[in-house]
Structure formats: structure tokens, C-alpha cells
Structure 1
Amino acid sequence: MDWLERVAGLRQWTRGGTRAPHKPLLLLYALGRFREDSAGELRYSAVEEDLGRLLAEYGPPNATTPAYPFHHLTGDGVWEVRTDRGPGSPGTGVRELRASGAAGRLVPELRAALRRDPQLLGRMAQLLLDLHFPPSLHGELCAAVGLEPGPVEAVRLPAGRRQRDRRMRELVLTAYEYRCAFCGYDGRIGAVPVGLEAAHVRWWAYDGPDEVDNGLCLCSLHHKLFDKGVLGVGDGHRVLVSRHFAGGSRPARDHVTALAGRPLLGPRPGARPVAAAHRAWHLRQVFHGAPRAASAS
């Protein structure tokens, strides 16, 4: 059995580019726990809080519950659930999962495969990250679920999956003249830019094209905050800052909250600005809460 193909084919709600990373997050969490204890199981009542935090931090802006993937992942052939009454999930109800003593774990065949091939766990985790999250979040997400960051070996996407266009970074950085579109940072060592990255507005994992009108040149800090939903791009290509962001220090005010309402820096004349459709996707699927009022400064 090709476990990578099975993981790549997790059934998810995908209509209209809607983010639904519930199953991938649960599976990443389960892989991290397997790494710690390959014989253990995850009792829902014991892991509900952990899974809730993962969904709140890395899931879509709308409220959700970890009960959904805990039950529905059983249909993908990688996860099983039992209760105090025996095998099988009681459903998606939080009360039912708690009251029945529901516990889940990877199916026996997958557990055996992971024991036979120690590198399979790393390849599966990297595939889940590549298919559902932007690279700026991979390291911290690995840390959050107890996995080592980075693949054990290079992971090729399954046949039929589109591949990234390696030219995008240079095209985007050139279009924005090698400076952060939010703050203007343009550091370099000699002729080599340092701390500047090409961010997808609509994530590549959700059919975001590798094109200039879906990209922003951002410094490392603002790229991370953009992908975390703290920052966004609104009408008139002005910077949005989430009201959910809190930071009382002067650096937090200067580098984040003071950006509210500022126009983007770039792109250069003749280059295509961020397309409205991609900005709208980011605001629906990534940006958290309502934007702050424009900064007086």
C-alpha cells in the first residue's frame, strides 16, 4: 500500500477554495504522538484541548471543533476510533466522544509500516505540510505537534499534482524591487537580498498560482504575520492589521500595528499588482477577525 498516496488523497471540503485542514492537523498531531509512543492511543477528552489550539492557530478563521476530524478521518483508511463499548466512532458530537471514552490512533497497518520504515513518518509529515500549509509555517507547526522540522528525505508530490514554479521568487522580488511591500525593508549582503521572501497571497496549497499578481515581496517577519492572518491587503491595496493582534511594545507598534491603512510599496510600474480575487481569498480564509482602524501616523 502506498501510504503517501493515501495521505495525499485525504477527503476534504474544497468548494470555492475553502480551507479545511482539520484532518491534516489531526494526522500531523497523531504522527507526532506516534513518534513519542508508537503503542499509545489518543483519548479524545485528553487531546481535545491540544487539537482545539491547533485548529484555532492553523485552521480557517471560522470557528470549528476537533470532534469533526476525530470522527471523519476514520473514512480515509489511516485512523481508527474505539469507545468503551468497542470499535467505531460514536459520531461528531463532542459530548458523545467525551462520554463514550472515545480514543483514536493510526490504523494497525500504518503503524506497522511506520515501524518498518523509520523515514516514512518524516515523508508523510512533509507531504501533509506541503499540501496544506505555506512553508513559512512548517517549522513552527512541526514544533507544535512534536515533529522534527524538515523532511527526512526529499518528498515528491504524487503523480498528477502540480509542481511549484521555482522562478516565482525572483519574479516577485524583482517586481517589488527587492523591498518589503509592507515596511520597505531592503537588506542585502553585497548583491544578495537577506530576509526577503516571495509570499503567496492565495496559498499555493489552495491552488494559488505561481504568478506575480498572486505574490508579495515581504520581509521574513511580515511574511510570517501575513500567513498567520495578522496582516492582510484590503481595498486600494492598503495594509490591514487584525484587531486580534496584541503587542504593547514599541517594536510591536512600529512594525505591526502602525502598518494599518498604509498603501503597499510596489510593485514597480508595469508589474501586475495583487489580483482582487487573491486578496479576497486571503481575507476569507487566512485573515483573522476585523481589521484595525488606519494608523494616525
Structure 2
Amino acid sequence: MTTPVLASPTTGPDLVMTPRGNADVRGPANFEKSIVRGVLLANHAAHLGPDAGVLRGLYPDGVAHLWGATPCSVPGHEKTRAIAQRRAGDHLLVYAEKKIIARALIVHCLDNAPLARSVWGDTNGQTWQHIMALDEIELLDDVPAAGILRSLVRQDFLRSLVRRTHREYRSIAHLLPPHLSVIPAGRTRPGPDIPAQLGSEPVPTGPTRRTPQTGQRTVRNTARSERVRDHYKHTCQICGRSMRTATGHTSEGAHFRALEHDGPDHETNIGCLCAYCHTEYDAGGIYIDDDLVVRSGTTGKRERDLHVSRAHPIDRDHLRFHRAWFGLDTHPDVDPTRLKPGWPKP
């Protein structure tokens, strides 16, 4: 068992980068299986070893999000150093097909060949035994890897696990979508432009991907939320405020129909809100009617109008679902008998 050692809060997280791997080593399938969907710890209980308690504590729903690396026998090799130095608190970037396809927080590290073989099998007698347990997983769209790799590994591709310091990580931070969409003052984020019409891409069908257990972890596609927040320049569509930070302004992407209620991760279901309005909306303290009027959840009194750009269509059905969830409307996907006592009825 590797004792979790958190990255120093005074320096910031270091960075681990890993290739996803091609189909010949089952890279795409393993990425979908163990990072996106997660693996049931119960299915691998016989192989958890001394890390069983830690993993069950990290994943109380029983679904673990894991990634690993095969051993490196060359002393002093960059991969050997990365395996030895990786730690809880580092950030992980996953590389595939000239892009950075995911980012996550490493919350625990362990070396366990039987567990790795149980989860991923082995290739040519080797298995991904140097395991990293992950949280805060973000699937990334349209993040070119070339600039990041040239800066950090001096080449246009990534062949094996590498680790870089927090200072090196900070030097390429502007090439990545920022966490919580924090934009330094006076600078706009590089990357793809806002589409002419937000939500012009197809709406995903079916529920947003999540682990198939109680207490599910939803794996979000952050690019769509960032497009909406960028479009409104981090100004809340309800109250008009822009939350300030030490480095600029920030906002939150609010789903009108929550992801855990099978709302799509799509611009037509996402608003740009401040933390206060987001919390009130999620808790039913306010709701939005079909005329895009923001009303009190307890009195129905009009409070203000929702600011909506012409380039940002909002699906009214998601607003109706939210109202129905709090007993203020009806919706075919909401059973009115589930309403809590004391909630207003439709």
C-alpha cells in the first residue's frame, strides 16, 4: 500500500500525464471502463489487498475510477521516476490522438498487480499495476496536446507516464480549460470560439454517463458548460452579478434539469449562474417559468427576468421538469406522489 501524501497547498498540484493507449493494448476500452464508468469494487474484492479500506472510503458507492501504468525496469528512466513520485493531490492528464481527453485529481496511489490484472487483464505478461485512484474527472473536448507536450516533454506525442512539477504545470495552464472556469482578469481563454448558436451541436440522447450505482458519480463534459459561461462573460443570468476571485471572475454552469435526473449535458440545458442563484435554483427557492421569468419558489412572486442571449436557446421542457420536481407544475417524468409533505402542489 502506498501511503497517500497530499500535494503541498503552498505550491499547488504537480502534474502526471499518461497516454490512454491504442486499441492494441485496449486503451479506449479500458478508458471507458475504468475512468468514465468506473469499476465495481465488489467484483474485485479478492484482490484489493491492504488498500481495501482506503478504496471503500474514497468510493462509498462502491464504484472506483482507476488508471494505471505498467512497470519500468530501467533505473532513472522518466517513467520510473514518475511511478515512484506520483502522489495523491497530483492532477492527471490523459493523452490520446493528439488531444488531451481527460483531467482528474489523483486521490490515492497503490501498487497492486493482482488488482490491475483483475481490472484490466495483462499485455505481454505486464499489467497496469501502478494504480492511481481518481476523482473530479473531467472529459475534455477540443484541447490540442501539441503545445502542452512540446513545452513539457519536448515532442508532439506521449509514449509513457511522465510527471512534472507544479511550476511546469502552471506554465501550460493557459492551454487547458480552467477549473471552475476561473479566467484571469484582462485575458480571454484560448481555444475554440463560441459557436454561432450555443447548443447547435446535437443533444446527447439518453442519460448523461455515470456509474451504475446508488450515489452515482456523474462524469461531465465541461466544454459545453464553459462555452455558456464564456458567452455570458461569467455574468449570472438571474441576478446579473459576476463572482470575483483573486485572479479574475468566475461563474457556475447550472443544469436546468439536473444530470442526476437524466438532464442532458447540453447548452440548451445549461445556464450561467452565480453560486448563490445556482444554490437557490437547485434547492427550489426560485424557479423559471416558460416566459423566462424568475419567480419565488414559495410565493410565485416575480423576482426578475432571466437574461438570455439570442444565441442561447433554452429548452423549456427542462424548466418544466424543474418546476414539477418541486411540485409547481406537472411533467411526464415526475411522479407527483413523490413530493415531500408541505411542498406546494401543482
Q: TM-score w.r.t. structure 1 length?
A: 0.41
Which structure shows the bigger proportion of residues in helix conformation?
A: 1
Larger % of strand: which?
2
Structure (1 or 2) with the larger CA radius of gyration: 2
Higher relative contact order (CA 8 A, sep 6+): 1
